[in-house]
Amino acid sequence: MSRRAAIQSVLGVAGATALSLPQSVYAMQDGKGRPMAGQIKGNGEVKITKLETFLVKPRWIFLKIHTDVGVVGLGEPLLEGRALTIQTAIKEIEPYLIGKDPRNIVHHWQAIYRHAFYRGGPILTSALSGIDHALWDIKGKLLNVPVWELLGGPTRDRVRVYGRASNAEQMRQRKAEGYTVIKTGVAKEHPADFVENPKFVKHAIDNFASLRDAGGDDMDIAIDFHGSIPPQTSKLLIKEMEPYQPYFIEEPCQAQNLDVLAEIARSTHIPIATGERVYTKWGFREVLEKGAASIIQPDLCHAGGITEGRIIAGMAEAYYVPIAPHNPMGPISLAVGLHLAASVPNFLVQEQVSLGEGYLKNPFQLQKDGTVLIPRGPGLGIELDEDQLADKIGHDWRNPESYNALDGSVVDW
């Protein structure tokens, strides 16, 4: 037999073996790697049967995707202040998913996104994000592995998370709890005007200085301008904050005009972060190309879920930009962020406001070094505590409505 024929023969055998693998290879296994009966039908098929959404206090939405094999996936398709809109969007997507195999995650992402004539934006990508979470959760459960294993295995065994503090007392409390990173906001007595006076600037800087004093030089302190500080005033604040070395400055202006954001980024050596209101790889492409931020903050409940988050992180790596996933949401969102953080090399820090107490059967635990261990269970590795959730179902949270006290004009909150 010739060398070429031998190679073709080997490849042919390998190819035939790969193609002949039964679909039941997806079947859930026990702790010893043995298939668990009853998880997959005899022909290896799995089908989506139902999508359920629940409004959960204080302002969240939880999603359950059910399958005909009893495996349920969890997702968090939040859009703050637009809960009913997202519920409707998911209801509109549901007919596409019913009867489909949940394991074809990327295919479903493409179909849901690209079959919409008007693509992107906060509504579609938030609904899609929560669906994407739940599909990854289902696939991990069927294969009995964590989602980070499906994404290539762990790059770390723990994830640094940050807490919040707005004054020196809270800073000392967070430090005692074990946090090594804190995020705060701009201390202000009234909404920022286009150009502010020295009193406004001094009040904000004095507060940040008190946090630095209470936290010490070993505490990383980020500050969120929340896109509510006009760029003219942002420049004044950033200059005065530089001696205190913020960990990063988040959204020093709205991200709708990236040229302005890039101008601010070029004017300071302090890292600028943005991304919570940027959607999909296409939105982050422009942020990265224009140098509008040196830290990006994709919100995995808005930007396209785990599928898109991994792509965004890969794009950022080529620019030497780390990711710090945005997450002022619930514990499902936190679990999603932990899996992405575990699977990418360019991770910086994870935002969180709830480790899952009162929501999860096994809440995440803050370690003494300010980290949370990556989930080890199958899928997202979390289970909702339905008993504790019972009194948290339903909310009518709305975005704050802020106005200028002098003339009644609308201001950002």
Q: Tokens 């936190």 identify what position?
A: 334
Pull the structure tokens for residue 110.
Answer: 């493409």
Which of 66, 108, 326, 339 is flagged as catalytic?
Answer: 326
Pull the structure tokens for residue 83.
Answer: 């809960």
Residues forming a β-bridge with 274: 296
Please answer whether residues 157 and 369 qualify as being in contact, where contact means their C-beta atoms are separated by less than 8 angstroms.
no
Pull the structure tokens for residue 7.
Answer: 């190679």
Measure the CA–CA gap between 51 and 64, rounded to whole angstroms: 6
Secondary structure class of 368 (helix, strand, coil): coil
Residue 326 a catalytic site member: yes
Specify burial of residue 366 (Cβ count, 10 A radius: 0-12, 13-18, 19+): middle
Pull the structure tokens for residue 232.
Answer: 């003219």
Please answer whether residues 105 and 132 qualify as being in contact, where contact means their C-beta atoms are separated by less than 8 angstroms.
yes
Which of 226, 302, 339, 395 is flagged as catalytic?
Answer: 226
Measure the CA–CA gap between 361 and 182, rounded to whole angstroms: 27
Q: Is the peptide bond before 58 cis (omega within 30 degrees of 0)?
A: yes
Please answer whether residues 49 and 70 qualify as being in contact, where contact means their C-beta atoms are separated by less than 8 angstroms.
no
Going by C-alpha positions, the residue among 41, 103, 104, 39 that lies closest to residue 71 is: 39
Going by C-alpha positions, the residue among 321, 318, 325, 282 that lies closest to residue 300 is: 325
Q: Where are the alpha helices (DSSP H) in 154-219?
A: 168-177, 198-215
Residue 190 a catalytic site member: no
Measure the CA–CA gap between 34 and 71, rounded to whole angstroms: 18
Please answer whether residues 83 and 59 qualify as being in contact, where contact means their C-beta atoms are separated by less than 8 angstroms.
yes
Going by C-alpha positions, the residue among 109, 98, 94, 101 that lies closest to residue 40 is: 101
The dihedral of CA 230, 235, 240, 246: what is its sign?
positive
- Residues acting as catalytic residues: 226, 326
